[in-house]
Structure 1
Amino acid sequence: MSSSSDLRISRTLGALLGVHCGDSLGATFEFMPWSRIIRKYPNGLREIVGGGTLDWPVGHATDDTDLTRAVLLAYGDYEGEKQAGGVDFVEGEFNIAKAAAEYALKWNEGDWPGRKKGTRPIDIGNATRIGLQNFKRLKNPAKSGAGIGSAGNGSLMRCIPTGLFASKERRQDESMTISEFTHNDPRCTVACAAYNEIVASLVNDKSLQEAVEIGKTVADDLGCAEVAHAIREGETLPLARIATEGPRRDIAFTPCGYVLDSLKLSIAALLDPRSFEDVLVDVVRIGGDSDTNGAIAGGLLGARAGIEEIPERWLKKLQFRDIFEEIAMCILQLQENEKKLLERVHKEE
């Protein structure tokens, strides 16, 4: 494989497993305030240990990683159908948002690994619950969302497969439509689109600042000034200071699940020059919605540095490490095969 292919593999796997690491590390602190965390872990938690308010098994996926898996499975199905259809495959005949919503519905109704069949997830956000109930009834992802005004981070946490696997032409639209089946507020849909353009830029070896600028441009072009403003605030958000001193009134940030706060925290994490481990430890010890903030930031950090920078002692504990790597490698190989086929066809012409 070429060096560019190796880089894409490393950063794709880093992004997916970065989400899982942030989720599983942060699950221990979910719903906890910074003041309680800092007393027990003054230097942060550096091991994935599970537990927490919901008593998670070590390395287990919470809803963040589970729903990322739902979107990832949808992209695996899409690439498989495209490969099977060959020249007869018609772009647009596969509804990626509907496929992701169908997998998310299976998760919600107990058809999911690691859980007794028929049992509900123990952690689900209100907008996600409402959206999936609507989707079950309507079977239309474009009409299922929880509504304008519901701007939690529940679609941003799961959106990264689009940034990794959708083509440039489809990426923004699919980012927004996959958000819409639960979170259709523009702050959510545009945050997903901007985040995924940043992810794609990192995987394609753009500099950190170039990637962030692309994210701001996308938010502006899509007409959501609030998302662009959140990215700009993230560029100056003092992550290490917040982790050490706690959230403060003079800093426009809270860690409690608002999509734009999670976005700005992930931008601050991306631009922090420290290691994957050091930055992610600080992200989750801020508390609040620590698993989701960890997942969103972990995705960008993994796309920044690649899987090699993620501690192996974390990776080996992850519930879905093997399936994430297997599906990602399969999609990348199918896309590489398609690229070579198109190149050969163009040469013959």
Structure 2
Amino acid sequence: MTDTFQSSTTASPLNPRVSKSLGALLGVHAGDSLGATVEFETHGRIQKQYPNGVRDIIGGGPFGWPAGHATDDTDLTRAVLLAYRDRAVAQQGSSTTINFDVVKSAADWSLKWYKGDWPDRTLGEGPVDIGGATEQGLSKYEDTRDPRYCGAGFGMAGNGSLMRCIPTALFAETREERIRDSKAISAFTHNDTRCSISCAVYNEIVAALVDGKSVLEAVECGQETAKELNSPMVEEAISTGYRMPISRYAATGPGDKLPGRTSGYVLQSLSVAIGALTDPRPLEEVLIDVVRLGGDTDTNGAIAGGLLGARDGIEAIPARWLDKLQFRSDFEEIATSLLSKS
């Protein structure tokens, strides 16, 4: 098996925008699948079993995933991606603007996932892994069918919306729409402002990277957005990440520098992702080290993988990883179609 990238949909070289967009989506998927093997494990236990880190997508973990199978991180990213696909389909061939509610569509697809109407799942069978805020928000949405009156409420500040938000960075049409939809798509499950603003900030960083801005410029875009949205806590999370030595923490353990051993707290996951983005090493080595930190390894891998893929492009993701990913072709086909219309 070669480690030279080859698209599953085209043999032509990719332009930078397409490469970075595909890299962002499949970076989420790859980080999720890589981290699923050691989800909830401590740094010390991972070091004993994988002294050089988990270097291949092998599946397993506490939920017994097949290699490359999507966990909730990638599944819900797919739900948001499908919403943007549906908007493009609704608008196709129309000479007038179609008022398509992409937030409601994302919530509808997420509910389908929750109810078991999903690839490789038994119809009606719930997901084997779901966060508390996600479950509360989708249960409320099932009752109300209004995504703007759901969410788990203040105090539920997990990373379950940050892990799925990246399609908005790639396919929203303006900055205003990107920020608005990032917050609203977060809020139908995670409406604590630490979550919704983290999603908006993350997506501004991704959009800047896809537009060809440097890492420093992209991080500055994130800081400016956090300031504009009046969130000092998110600003501090970005600053913390910018100073975070991922390789050293991966080698020696995060200790008390990452309280809760990289728990599912949204601001901690954002910091880890910023630390990964600002690490100059190749995507593969950085993502392996993010997983080595332990804790919420699949989600931290997904969030960091999205930024790294947007930074380096799909060519930086090892082919041996890409070949394993459950939704690789699905993501590539939808994304290239949407990008061709933009």
Letter in 1 for 2:282: S
Partner of 2:63 in structure 1?
Answer: 54
Q: In 2, are the aligned partners of 1:71 and 1:103 still within 8 Å (CA)?
A: yes
**Structure number with higher helix proportion:** 1
Partner of 2:75 in structure 1?
Answer: 66
- Go from structure 1 to structure 2 and tell me whether the alpha carbon gap of 1:28 and 1:231 turns closer, same or farther (over 3 Å shift): same
Partner of 2:172 in structure 1?
Answer: 166
Q: Once the 2 structures are TM-superposed, how far is the Cα of residue 254 of structure 1 from its aligned partner?
A: 3.7
CA distance in 1, matches of 2:32, 2:258: 24
CA distance in 2, matches of 1:188, 1:79: 27
Letter in 2 for 1:115: R
Q: In 2, are the aligned partners of 1:247 and 1:253 still within 8 Å (CA)?
A: no
Q: Once the 2 structures are TM-superposed, how far is the Cα of residue 256 of structure 1 from its aligned partner?
A: 0.8
Runs of 4+ off more than 4 Å: 250-253
Partner of 1:104 in structure 2?
Answer: 110
* SS of structure 1 residue aligned to 2:95: helix
Q: In 2, are the aligned partners of 1:15 and 1:300 still within 8 Å (CA)?
A: yes
* SS of structure 1 residue aligned to 2:156: coil
2:188 is aligned with 1:181 = yes
Q: Higher mean Cα deviation, 58-67 or 240-249?
A: 240-249
Partner of 2:219 in structure 1?
Answer: 212
CA distance in 2, matches of 1:271, 1:27: 23
Q: Once the 2 structures are TM-superposed, how far is the Cα of residue 251 of structure 1 from its aligned partner?
A: 5.4
The Cα RMSD (Å) is 1.4
- Go from structure 1 to structure 2 and tell me whether the alpha carbon gap of 1:326 and 1:104 turns closer, same or farther (over 3 Å shift): same
Q: In 2, are the aligned partners of 1:254 and 1:261 still within 8 Å (CA)?
A: no
Matches within 5 A, 1:332-347: 332-335=339-342
CA distance in 1, matches of 2:260, 2:223: 19
2:34 is aligned with 1:25 = yes
Query: Which of residues 280, 286, 298 is equivalent to 1:291?
Result: 298
Q: Once the 2 structures are TM-superposed, how far is the Cα of residue 87 of structure 1 from its aligned partner?
A: 2.3
Partner of 1:45 in structure 2?
Answer: 54
Q: In 2, are the aligned partners of 1:284 and 1:293 still within 8 Å (CA)?
A: yes
Partner of 1:237 in structure 2?
Answer: 244
CA distance in 2, matches of 1:6, 1:78: 24
Matches within 5 A, 1:55-204: 55-84=64-93, 86-90=94-98, 93-168=99-174, 169-204=176-211
Letter in 2 for 1:94: F
Q: In 1, are the aligned partners of 2:36 and 2:71 still within 8 Å (CA)?
A: yes
CA distance in 2, matches of 1:214, 1:330: 27
Q: Once the 2 structures are TM-superposed, how far is the Cα of residue 43 of structure 1 from its aligned partner?
A: 1.0
Partner of 2:6 in structure 1?
Answer: none
Letter in 2 for 1:89: T
Letter in 2 for 1:20: H
CA distance in 1, matches of 2:260, 2:179: 26
Q: Once the 2 structures are TM-superposed, how far is the Cα of residue 178 of structure 1 from its aligned partner?
A: 0.3
Q: In 2, are the aligned partners of 1:146 and 1:184 still within 8 Å (CA)?
A: yes
Letter in 1 for 2:54: L
Letter in 1 for 2:294: G
Q: List per-residue Cα deviations over 1:71-125 (Å, max 9, x = no partner).
A: 00000011111223x22224xx211111000000000001000111111110000
Aligned length, in residue pairs:
330
Partner of 2:286 in structure 1?
Answer: 279
Partner of 1:15 in structure 2?
Answer: 24
Unaligned runs of 5+ residues in structure 1 are: 336-349
Partner of 1:258 in structure 2?
Answer: 265
Letter in 2 for 1:6: N
Partner of 1:343 in structure 2?
Answer: none
Q: Once the 2 structures are TM-superposed, how far is the Cα of residue 197 of structure 1 from its aligned partner?
A: 0.3
Partner of 1:338 in structure 2?
Answer: none
CA distance in 2, matches of 1:144, 1:108: 15
CA distance in 2, matches of 1:280, 1:114: 27
* SS of structure 1 residue aligned to 2:262: coil
Letter in 2 for 1:55: G
Q: TM-score, normalised by structure 2?
A: 0.94
Partner of 2:311 in structure 1?
Answer: 304
**Which protein has the larger Cα radius of gyration, Structure 1 or Structure 2?**
1
Q: Once the 2 structures are TM-superposed, how far is the Cα of residue 333 of structure 1 from its aligned partner?
A: 1.3
Letter in 2 for 1:212: V
The share of aligned pairs that are identical, in percent, is 57
Q: TM-score, normalised by structure 1?
A: 0.92
Q: In 1, are the aligned partners of 2:291 and 2:301 still within 8 Å (CA)?
A: yes
CA distance in 2, matches of 1:250, 1:311: 30
* SS of structure 1 residue aligned to 2:191: coil
Q: Once the 2 structures are TM-superposed, how far is the Cα of residue 167 of structure 1 from its aligned partner?
A: 1.6
